[in-house]
Amino acid sequence: MINTINQLEIRPDRVQIGLLQFAEQPRIEFYLNSFRNRQAVVNKISQMRLLGGSVLNVGAAVTYALENMFQASTGSRKSEGAHQVLVIVTGAPGEEQLSTLGDTLALAKILTFTVTSGQANADAWQRVAFTEELAYHSEDFSKLPEVADTIIDQDVAFLIDGTDSVRADFSYIRDFIISVIEPLDIGIDKVRISVVQHSERPAPNFYLNTYKTKEEVLRAINEMTPAGGRSLNTGSALKFMKDTILSEPYGSRSSLNVPQFLIVLAADRSVDNVKQPASDLKKEGVVPFGVGVKNADPEQIKTISQNPSLAFTVKEFSELSNIPNSINYYVALPQKELDKAIEQGKTSYASESILTLLSKTLTRYIVFLLDDSDNTKDGFSAIKHFVKNIVETLYVDENHDRVSVVQFADGPRVNFYLSTHKTKGDYIKAIDGMKHKGGRRVNIGAALQFVRHRVFTSSTGSRRLEGVPQILILLSSKPSSDNVRGPASSLKEHEIVSVASKYCR
Confidence class for position 505, pLDDT limits 50, 70, 90:
very low
CB neighbour class for 397 (10 Å; exposed up to 12, middle 13-18, buried from 19): exposed
Residues 461 and 453: their CA atoms lie apart, in Å, by 12
- pLDDT at residue 329, rounded to an integer: 66
Say yes or no to pLDDT of 298 above 70. Answer: yes
Q: pLDDT by residue (tens digit) across 55-87?
A: 788 888 888 999 999 999 999 998 877 778 999
Question: Other CB atoms closer than 10 Å to residue 77's CB: what's the count?
Answer: 17
Residues linked to residue 187 through DSSP beta bridges, in sequence order: 213
Which residues have C-beta within 8 Å of that of residue 275, sequence separation ≥ 6? 235, 303
Give the mean pLDDT of 178-198: 90
DSSP class of residue 394 equals: S
User: In terms of Cα–Cα distance, which of 420, 493, 406, 489 is closest to 454?
Assistant: 406
How much is the pTM? 0.52
What's the pLDDT tens digit per position in 326-375? 787 667 665 555 666 656 555 454 455 454 445 444 577 899 999 999 98
CA 184/CA 251 separation, integer angstroms: 17
Which pLDDT score, from 0 to 100, does residue 233 have? 97
Q: What is the dihedral of CA 303, 309, 315, 319, to 10 degrees?
A: -130
* pLDDT above 90 for 4: no
Q: Is 277 in contact with 242 (CB distance < 8 Å)?
A: yes
Mean pLDDT, the chain, integer: 85
Helix axes 424-432, 380-391, angle to 10 degrees: 180
Q: What is the pLDDT of residue 433?
A: 92
> Does residue 309 or residue 417 have the better pLDDT?
417
Give the β-pairing of 365-371 and 402-408: parallel
pLDDT (average), residues 109-125: 81
More confident residue, 91 or 243: 243
Q: β-strand 135-137 against 110-116: which pairing, if any?
A: parallel
**Is residue 267 pLDDT above 80, yes or no?**
yes
pLDDT above 90: residue 229: yes
pLDDT score recorded for residue 170: 96
Spatial CB neighbours of 442, under 8 Å, sequence gap ≥ 6 = 371, 373, 375, 408, 409, 476, 477, 478, 479, 480, 481
Q: Is 228 helix (H, G, I), strand (E, B) or coil?
A: coil
Angle at 182 (CA atoms; ends 181, 187), nearest 5 degrees: 70
- Domains observed in the chain: 2-150 (3.40.50.410), 153-333 (3.40.50.410), 340-502 (3.40.50.410)
End-to-end CA distance of the chain: 39
- Provide the pLDDT for residue 95: 46
CB of 475 within 8 A of CB of 503? yes
Residue 474 has pLDDT above 70, yes or no: yes
pLDDT at 99 over 70: no
pLDDT of residue 145: 55
